[in-house]
Structure 1
Amino acid sequence: MATFENTLTIERPIAAVFTYLAEFENIPRWNYAITETRKTSAGPVGVGTTYLQTRSIPRPAVEAFEVTEFQPTQRLRIRGQLGPFPAVVSYDLESAANGTRLRNTVELGLPGPLRLTGPVVTARIKSAVRANLDVLRQLLEA
């Protein structure tokens, strides 16, 4: 298991940031590797809600994920696939003087031979996630 974290401040109210993140169909707008995200379960978003998303990078794939924590304006957590990796992704939000502090934590399972290249792979993914989060920040601040 490899874990990394990115933290940034978004100059928007915490409720607006949470609402945007909780609409997982928004992911393709700020994550360059995802071309589509769609809900596959009925009802409002909450614990147990499931999604399928289409990934274009590093190779085309369809991935499933499930919401495992849903605490409005505080925390979102999902479990599923990030490319070839089983992953848990958390978004923790707190009010900051000029908006919202967003901490994104990613826990990657490193199966088989990927364990040997874990540090290199993790560093690359962390950098890509950071770039995506910066796009998210720009979208929300526009």
Structure 2
Amino acid sequence: MRVHRTITVPRPLPVVVAYLADFGNAVHWDPGTISCVRTDSGPIRVGAAWRNVSEFNDRVTQLDYRLERMEPERLTFVGRNNQATATDDLTFAQYGGATTVTYRAEIVFHGWLRLVGPFVQRRFEKMANEVQTSLARELTAL
């Protein structure tokens, strides 16, 4: 399952990237996230890790996320558990004082759960719409 959304906010690119590089902030912009806690210490860099507890399709699930890519204009987080692998890939572009964020999310189910993907795609799309709205609101308020 994949979704793709784009938003533009009136904030400079470095501010937006710094905020989103801390995946713990997902509790503020991802309506499905119940908690997201850093599980390592030190500066946020490739390899930084978080434990994310989310609700999706009326089920609570936990994924261990890792920052896989950190570039000035791109962040990629990969979350894993026994049932699924989730990838959140964010790219950024600055236009004047505004920043465009392109958010791509993918969930790959493992084992027999691969069969449910087509049945929950609509719910995944709805959640992406909610993320788009709340992410724009959060970033604008920075």
In terms of mean alpha carbon deviation, does 104-113 or 127-136 score higher?
104-113
Give the TM-score taking structure 2 as reference length: 0.84
Tell me how far 1:22 sits from its aligned partner: 1.0
Cα gap change, 1:81/1:122 in structure 2, threshold over 3 Å: closer, same or farther? farther
| 1:139 equivalenced with 2:129 (yes/no) | no
- Partners of 1:40 and 1:112 lie apart in 2 by 27
Stretches of structure 2 that go unaligned for 5 or more consecutive residues are none
Tell me how far 1:130 sits from its aligned partner: 2.6
SS in 2 for 1:5: strand
Q: 1:130 maps to what in 2?
A: 129
For 2:41, the aligned partner's letter is A
Stretches of structure 1 that go unaligned for 5 or more consecutive residues are none
Contact map agreement 1:7 1:103 (CA 8 A) in 2 = yes
SS in 1 for 2:109: coil
Contact map agreement 2:5 2:104 (CA 8 A) in 1 = yes
- Partners of 1:53 and 1:131 lie apart in 2 by 18
SS in 2 for 1:109: strand
Q: 2:92 maps to what in 1?
A: 93
Cα gap change, 1:62/1:111 in structure 2, threshold over 3 Å: closer, same or farther? closer
Q: 2:117 maps to what in 1?
A: 118
- Partners of 2:127 and 2:38 lie apart in 1 by 24
Contact map agreement 1:93 1:102 (CA 8 A) in 2 = yes
* Deviation beyond 6 Å, 4+ runs, structure 1: none
For 2:67, the aligned partner's letter is V
Cα gap change, 1:117/1:63 in structure 2, threshold over 3 Å: closer, same or farther? closer
| 1:71 equivalenced with 2:71 (yes/no) | yes
- Residue identity over aligned pairs, in percent, reads 25
Q: 1:42 maps to what in 2?
A: 41
Cα gap change, 1:21/1:62 in structure 2, threshold over 3 Å: closer, same or farther? same
Give the TM-score taking structure 1 as reference length: 0.84
Contact map agreement 2:65 2:77 (CA 8 A) in 1 = yes
Aligned residues: 140
In terms of mean alpha carbon deviation, does 112-121 or 49-58 score higher?
112-121
